[in-house]
């Protein structure tokens, strides 16, 4: 780790990452005095495992270069700028999506910078630009954050959104992450960032946003592991229900979500950053597990996310869609059931018919 990278991490740690969990509630099993933990215990890789992965990755020359076309497609800018009636999803890249539901414009985990890193001179670099540039977005009403990893929370991107014409969006964030927002975005009014615990909900306009547990972890620096919460989001509308997975390992949390919310009209589920399985299985699902989650959530249709933009693990950037196609066929599903989009593509979603 370079001195400049360490200094960048230390700066973030000193401006918004608490040592003590000020939200600690001893009646909640996922709370600890230092932060949070998963509902269902599982193992985690050791430092020796990390070193082994790095050695094996280098020796095998992984990841291999992508061979499929992963470039952006022209965005339907006129449609997305004026759409207040149709339910639609525009894939911007990685896990960044524009959700247009119930007349609101919603962004998930906005990352528009060149790198997902504490600094912009090093770290994982974008394979392609965002499918829709920040300046081309319609006014954003709500931003949903799943957790604080750098490929999900980018300071430059959220700063730009705070300064969007017409005023900042409402930021809905995991419990504890509000401290980072208030420390790093001094012009953001305190009432524009709302932290939620697992199973908590907030209504805004005609929508209800519910923060739900998934198996993962958080860290912004080497010193703040699990100091802030992580999770997925359920977006509810009178005739439509969607799910955004964020990052997750497979766990019974998915069955708990299904028990509480029933079936889903649309799910955005991670399909990338999964190899090698011996190292990644507790924190990222693979495409076969994503198909299983699609079925457990009884989703009418699902979109594969978290692939194709940043090289984070050992599989090639273009491998997840191929693995998804194999898993889909094995499960008897069609491409209409579980698909991928290129950055810039928009898909109109059909509201539920009662």
Tokens 């249709």 locate to 301
CA distances from 11 to 60, 118, 120, 299 (A): 35, 10, 15, 42
Burial class (CB in 10 A: 0-12, 13-18, 19+), 63: middle
pLDDT of residue 1: 45
pLDDT in tens, 260-277: 999 999 999 999 999 999
pLDDT at 354 over 60: no
Q: Write out pLDDT tens, residues 120-170.
A: 999 999 999 999 999 999 999 999 999 999 999 999 999 999 999 999 999
User: Which token pair is 226?
Assistant: 């699990």
DSSP per-residue string spanning 275-305? -SHHHHTTT---HHHHHHHHHHTTEEEEEEE
| Chain segment 314-329, per-residue pLDDT in tens | 999 999 999 999 999 9
Q: Any idea which fold 74-348 has?
A: Metallo-beta-lactamase; Chain A (3.60.15)
Single pTM value for the model: 0.94
Cα dihedral 332/336/340/343 (nearest 10): 180
Average pLDDT of the chain to the nearest whole number: 94
* Cα–Cα distance, 336 to 151 (Å, whole number): 28
The pLDDT assigned to 17 comes to 52
Across residues 97-101, what is the average pLDDT? 98
Instruction: Say whether pLDDT at 7 is over 80.
Output: no
Q: Could you tell me the pLDDT band of residue 20, with boundaries at 50, 70 and 90? A: confident
Angle at the Cα of 300 from the Cα atoms of 299 and 306, rounded to 5 degrees? 60
Give the CA dihedral 251, 87, 211, 19, nearest 10 degrees.
100
Q: What pLDDT is stored for residue 4 in this prediction? A: 53
Q: In what order do the strands lie in the sheet with 207-212?
A: 201-204, 207-212, 232-237, 240-244, 264-270, 299-305, 338-339
Domain ranges of the chain: 74-348
The pLDDT of residue 57 is above 70? yes
């Amino acid at each position: 780790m370079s001195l400049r990278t360490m200094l960048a991490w230390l700066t973030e740690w000193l401006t918004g990452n608490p040592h003590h969990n000020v939200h600690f509630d001893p009646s909640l099993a996922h709370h600890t005095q230092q932060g949070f933990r998963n509902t269902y215990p599982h193992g985690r890789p050791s430092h020796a495992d990390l070193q082994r992965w790095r050695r094996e990755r280098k020796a095998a020359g992984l990841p291999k270069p992508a061979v499929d076309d992963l470039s952006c497609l022209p965005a339907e800018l006129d449609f997305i700028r004026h759409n207040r009636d149709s339910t639609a999803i525009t894939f911007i890249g990685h896990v960044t999506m524009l959700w247009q539901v119930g007349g609101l414009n919603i962004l998930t985990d906005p990352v528009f910078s060149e790198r997902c890193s504490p600094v912009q001179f090093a770290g994982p670099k974008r394979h392609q630009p965002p499918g829709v540039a920040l300046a081309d977005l319609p006014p954003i009403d709500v931003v949903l954050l799943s957790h604080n990893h750098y490929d999900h929370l980018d300071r430059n991107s959220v700063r730009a959104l705070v300064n969007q014409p017409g005023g900042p969006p409402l930021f809905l964030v995991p419990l504890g992450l509000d401290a980072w927002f208030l420390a790093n975005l001094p012009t953001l009014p305190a009432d524009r960032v709302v932290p939620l615990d697992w199973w908590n909900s907030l209504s805004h306009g005609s929508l209800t946003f519910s923060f739900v547990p998934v198996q993962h972890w958080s860290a912004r620096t080497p010193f703040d592991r699990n100091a802030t919460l992580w999770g997925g989001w359920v977006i509810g509308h009178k005739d439509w229900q969607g799910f955004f997975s964020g990052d997750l390992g497979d766990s019974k949390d998915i069955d708990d979500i299904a028990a509480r919310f029933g079936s889903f009209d649309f799910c955005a589920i991670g399909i990338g950053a999964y190899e090698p399985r011996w190292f990644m299985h507790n924190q990222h699902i693979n495409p076969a597990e994503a198909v299983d989650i699609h079925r457990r959530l009884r989703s009418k249709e699902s979109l594969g996310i978290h692939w194709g933009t940043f090289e984070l693990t050992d599989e090639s950037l273009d491998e997840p869609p191929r693995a998804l196609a194999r898993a889909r066929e094995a499960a008897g599903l069609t491409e209409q059931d579980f698909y991928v989009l290129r950055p810039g593509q928009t898909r109109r979603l059909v509201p539920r018919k009662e």
